[in-house]
Amino acid sequence: MQKPAIAALLVSVALSAPACAQQPGGKPLTMQDMTAFLAAHPPQPIAAATEPSIPLATAAATGSPGSEDWANMFGHRVVRNVTQPALYPVRPAAGKANGTAVIIAPGGAFLSLAFDNEGILVAKYLAERGITCFVLKYRVDQTPKDGKAFLDVVENRMRNGKPNRTHVDFAETKGILLAQEDGLAALRWVRAHAGEYGVDPARIGIIGFSAGGMTAMNVATGYDGASRPDFVGSIYGAGPERPVPKDAPPVFVALAADDGIMAYAGVPIFEAWRAAGRSAELHIYSAGEHGFSMRQVGTSADHWVEHFVQWLHGVKMVP
């Protein structure tokens, strides 16, 4: 893997990238600079998130929330060593909910979760538009507690990564299947409690970023009746090499053409859905690298979330 690609994933793991990070003198950091920058600015330990959360019961869950490691990276929260999955509800203002709900799966290479930039910030944007959100804290691979040692693990994984990947490789890490199990459990929980949140049980979806995008697509191809998402979004993610279900939900795919990690993984999702006769929408932005999410990168990728909301209206998932 080339150095810019490693840097891109390091950024994504840390917080899906600090748009504000700069070199002395105000010059923006290049992707080539980022690996060294992150090494010099390792994660700073912080207290766990204080937002109310809902534990998810999954068969293989071990450990406890107390074993998690929360950190601040450039003003954004990151969590790793998750062993107990949970949902963090973010609800619209009173009287503003439109009955649609979405589970949001942050990314982080199955080593950590970009809790704010690919979770809470996305949820707040969508909640302002009437969508009830649940940020999914799913299980990830265990990593050293020391911040610098953690970044060494990340870089090692990226050096052994596959920048031209087209699909999910389940042999890459056990975290992939753990995250899928937690995503399916999240769908079941939200649907079972839809009435408590003013949610239509036929308008519950999942969207994910990077590893979270893989998780969303694994859920969208591995569900049962209770865990079927009504729509799915994959933002710079990848899908598995599985048959597209006959009742597969509408899919929204977005990525940047210059993504050093997942540039080739979005189109196969679109093509598979289209070949199966299922609804699909694909956005390939000319620039934005990996992990653009809610940070402003100064390209058309900044508008992906607006396009996602427009798409939800178009597929009748938002009234």
Q: What is the mean pLDDT of the chain?
A: 87
Tell which wins on pLDDT, 106 or 12. 106
Residue entry with tokens 């058309």 = 300
Into how many domains does the chain fold?
1
- Rounded to an integer, the average pLDDT of 205-234 is 97
Q: How many angstroms separate the CA atoms of 115 and 76, rounded? A: 8
Range of the domain at 13: 3-314
Q: Say what the pLDDT of residue 138 is.
A: 97
- Residue 144 to residues 50, 106, 107, 135, 215: CA-CA distances in angstroms? 23, 20, 18, 24, 23
Q: Say what the pLDDT of residue 260 is.
A: 86
**Segment 154-201, tens digit of pLDDT:** 777 777 667 788 999 998 899 999 999 999 999 999 999 999 999 999
Tell me how far the alpha carbon of residue 61 is from its chain's centroid. 20
Q: Say what the pLDDT of residue 34 is.
A: 56
Residue 35 maps to which CATH number?
3.40.50.1820
- Quickly state the pLDDT bin for 59 (edges 50, 70, 90): low
- Give domain status of residue 319, yes or no: no
Amino acid symbol at 302:
D
pLDDT above 50 (res 93): yes
Closest by CA position to 176, among listed 188, 168, 185: 168
pTM of the model: 0.90
Strand 86-90 versus strand 54-55 pairing type: antiparallel
**Segment 255-307, tens digit of pLDDT:** 999 998 899 999 999 999 999 999 999 999 999 988 898 988 899 999 999 99
Q: Say what the pLDDT of residue 9 is.
A: 47
Q: How many angstroms separate the CA atoms of 310 and 293, rounded? A: 17
